[in-house]
């Protein structure tokens, strides 16, 4: 598979840093997520998750099996009618892959992967809120932040991070939850959820113009609970960090959340084939450090990250490892 060898070398290179800096952060994942198989050549393939898991091998995680999400938890974001409308498509995958939208496919193994990806976020929120640890990472696929309440979109079927956020609000009685999204593609589905929920802050950096075409600075939600920082193609470390410092991090600080969730996409890396931003691996470590600082300031360190995009395997593996290591450098 393209870049698999480079990803493996990257995994070996970052393992020392992980072992040096990481204590027992919670890690939620499941092998079933490797059985979600789009057609050959599709960007969102099982090798993505395997590259991340290889990069994290040997680090001191408290590894947990991602459970199936309960439909009632999913239904806080996606109506029951949407959830049930997927079932005939899942059944059809016994015979062939099913195309849900121009970019989004499901296969025979997809149902378990999709339910466990959402379940990982719910379980991670439960574990962090119960005090089992203050940091959790959900190594999941398919990603979720493009999924709208009533439509799959952009490789995403259930909006994992939004399901986790609304679970935190409703099941744990929180008054303020924030989602920070640094995927290179705007998290349109998560923004849609925030636009109907004033207890939720959504703050995003992303390339624009680029798929899905949303995320303008003028999109501000309810009383400013949506904060977008679009950046042009070619934007590098200085521009991205400036946008984070000028818009995203001040909004997070002012909102003072009781829990921070992160849509951790690593496709703004300069090596990624699906976008044209120019971030380096070290930028994701910087983001982890800054988000950790604000989590300690406002929510006793409670922070849950979930994997979104990243399509160059070596860049994805190295950036995810650097980000997670930085979260643990207190």
Q: What is the pLDDT of residues 289-303, one digit of tens each?
A: 999 999 999 999 999
pLDDT at 3: 47
Cα dihedral 64, 69, 72, 73 sign = positive
pLDDT value for 58:
84
pLDDT at residue 39 in the model: 97
Catalytic site includes residue 146? yes
Structural domain containing residue 47:
4-327
By the 10 Å C-beta count (0-12 exposed, 13-18 middle, 19+ buried), 22 is classed as: buried
Where is 286: in which H helix or E strand? helix 281-299
Do 282 and 14 meet the contact criterion of CB atoms below 8 Å apart? no
Which residues on neighbouring strands pair with residue 273, listed in sequence order? Answer: none
Per-residue pLDDT band for 328 (boundaries 50, 70, 90) equals confident
Question: Residue 1: is its pLDDT beyond 80?
Answer: no
Phi, psi of 89 (to 5 degrees): -65, -40
CA distance 1 to 4: 6
Range name among 48-62, 114-128, 143-157, 179-193 with the lowest pLDDT average? 48-62
Residues 6+ apart with CB under 8 A from 108: 35, 37, 93, 94
How many whole angstroms separate alpha carbon 298 and alpha carbon 210?
33
186 CB neighbour count, 10 Å cutoff: 27
Look at residues 38, 263, 8 and name the one whose alpha carbon lies nearest to residue 145: 263
The pTM of this model reads: 0.95
Number of domains in the chain: 1
286 is written with which tokens? 């910087």
Query: Going edge to edge, which strands form the sheet with 259-264?
Result: 61-65, 25-29, 135-138, 303-307, 259-264, 177-181, 200-207, 226-231
Computed over every residue of the chain, the mean pLDDT equals 94
Spatial neighbors of 185 by CB under 8 A, at least 6 apart, are: 145, 146, 154, 206, 207, 210, 211, 212, 265, 267, 274, 275, 309
Contact between 188 and 130 (Cβ < 8 Å): no
Q: Which tokens go with 79?
A: 């109506």
The pLDDT of residue 13 is above 60: no
Residue 137 has φ and ψ, to the nearest 5°, of: -125, 130
Stretch 105-128: mean pLDDT = 98
CATH number for the domain that contains residue 200: 3.40.800.20
Positive/negative CA dihedral, 11, 57, 109, 303: negative
Choose, from 78, 146, 186, 298, the residue flagged as catalytic.
146
* Mean pLDDT (whole number) for 162-172: 98
DSSP 135-157: EEEE--SS--TT-BTTB-BTTBS
* Residue 60 confidence (pLDDT): 85
| Mean pLDDT computed over 5-9 | 51
pLDDT at 135 over 70: yes
CA distance 196 to 189: 12
Looking at residues 209-231, what average pLDDT do you find?
A: 98
Confidence of residue 59 (pLDDT cuts 50, 70, 90): confident
Q: How far apart, in whole angstroms, are the C-alpha atoms of residue 126 and residue 202?
A: 20
For residue 238, how many other CB atoms are within 10 A of its CB? 10
- First-last CA distance in the chain: 37
Record the tokens describing residue 254, joined without a space: 């002012």
Is residue 173's pLDDT more than 60? yes
Stretch 132-138: mean pLDDT, rounded? 97
Instruction: Give the model's pLDDT for residue 2.
Output: 42
**How would residue 257 be classed by pLDDT, with cut points 50, 70 and 90?**
very high
């Amino acid at each position: 598979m393209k870049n698999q060898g480079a990803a493996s070398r990257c995994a070996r290179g970052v393992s020392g840093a992980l072992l040096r800096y990481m204590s027992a952060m919670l890690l939620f994942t499941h092998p079933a997520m490797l059985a979600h198989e789009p057609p050959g050549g599709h960007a969102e393939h099982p090798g993505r998750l395997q590259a991340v898991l290889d990069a994290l091998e040997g680090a001191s995680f408290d590894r947990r099996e991602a459970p199936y999400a309960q439909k009632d938890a999913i239904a806080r974001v996606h109506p029951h009618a949407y959830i049930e409308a997927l079932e005939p498509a899942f059944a059809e995958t016994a015979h062939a892959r099913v195309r849900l939208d121009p970019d989004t496919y499901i296969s025979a193994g997809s149902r378990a992967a999709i339910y466990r990806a959402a379940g990982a976020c719910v379980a991670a929120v439960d574990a962090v809120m119960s005090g089992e640890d203050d940091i959790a990472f959900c190594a999941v696929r398919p990603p979720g932040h493009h999924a709208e309440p009533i439509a799959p979109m952009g490789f995403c079927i259930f909006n994992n991070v939004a399901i986790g956020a609304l679970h935190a609000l409703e099941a744990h009685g929180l008054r303020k939850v924030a989602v920070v999204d640094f995927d290179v593609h705007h998290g349109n589905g998560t923004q849609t959820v925030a636009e109907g929920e004033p207890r939720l802050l959504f703050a995003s950096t992303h390339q624009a113009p680029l798929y899905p075409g949303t995320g303008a600075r003028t999109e501000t939600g309810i009383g400013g609970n949506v904060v977008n920082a679009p950046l042009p193609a070619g934007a590098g470390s200085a521009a991205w960090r400036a946008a984070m410092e000028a818009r995203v991090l001040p909004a997070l600080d002012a909102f003072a959340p009781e829990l921070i969730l992160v849509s951790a996409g690593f496709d703004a890396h300069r090596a990624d084939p699906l976008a044209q931003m120019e971030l380096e691996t070290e930028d994701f470590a910087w983001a982890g450090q800054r988000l950790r600082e604000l989590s300690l300031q406002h929510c006793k360190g409670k922070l849950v990250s979930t994997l979104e995009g990243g399509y160059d395997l070596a860049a994805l593996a190295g950036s995810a490892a650097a980000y997670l290591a930085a979260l643990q450098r207190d």
